[in-house]
Amino acid sequence: MTTTQNFTIHHDGVTIAATRGGRGRLVVLCPGLNSTQADLQQLAGLLRRDHDVVTFDLRGHGLSSAADRYSFAAFLGDLAAVMAELGRHDRAAAPLLVGYSLGADLAVHYTAEHPGTVSGLLLIDGANPVPEPFLTEAVLPEFRAMWEDMAARQQAGRGTARQVLLTGQEILDLNVEIDQVRAGILARYDVIDQPITMIMSTSMAGDGDDEFVRSLNQNWRAGVERLQREHPGIATHWLDADHQLVFTHAVDIAAITRTLVPC
């Protein structure tokens, strides 16, 4: 069994909970919105068999503390604080930075702003320059209801390693902001020199056959195709899955990761 070490990082008025364990090349795993390091335990465990893996919780998630504000910039600050802490102890080790969903967007922005601090990027179903925003006025009520319901269900996880403290409105506001971030993310890719690999879901919004689901999935694929045209050197793997692929296809993702980070 792999031994892990828990530690905390204090910055910007919050306490970030992190875990490190395994041996080998350094990998940092950044979760997404509404996901925690506990949720990513299977993937982290698989990678720790032959890599030194760091996981952490964003503010308001898991074992990290709540915050007065939740924004893309604030979450990016959490990732930067984790990377800075690692840099103080492992100055010669530039990690592979792995990001899931929002975590992928954070990874791209961090790498663009801190050149030379990572050895490469693995982006899992995020950081997608979709041609159309997901949250249009037409679908806003449907998404608002979905995230209000999600926030209500997350109440049951309070006080556990899987807790999410955000309200439905905060989740909605963040997704609106993520749409805006992705509208300009190609410029971030333009300044990244490190190798980038993407693992994307074929049915991000599920495999339903109604027009709403089809349009979301088409927009998702169109964003990846747009990125490939702009940056043909980015390697892309498609998994037959929805946006939960990091949980349902952890074995496949770990296998791809091992090809990027030699043991």
Residues of the chain with pLDDT under 70: 1, 91-92, 261-263
Whether 58 and 34 have beta carbons less than 8 Å apart is answered as no
Q: Kindly list the structural domains of the chain, giving each domain's residue range(s) and its CATH number in brackets, ordered by start.
A: 4-257 (3.40.50.1820)
User: Tens digit of pLDDT for each residue in 59-87?
Assistant: 999 999 999 999 999 999 999 999 999 99
* pTM of model > 0.95: yes
Nearest to 98 by CA among 77, 128, 61, 125: 125
SS3 of residue 100 by DSSP: strand
Query: pLDDT of 185-223, one tens digit each?
Result: 999 999 999 999 999 999 999 998 889 899 999 999 999
Burial (0-12, 13-18, 19+ Cβ within 10 Å), 164:
buried
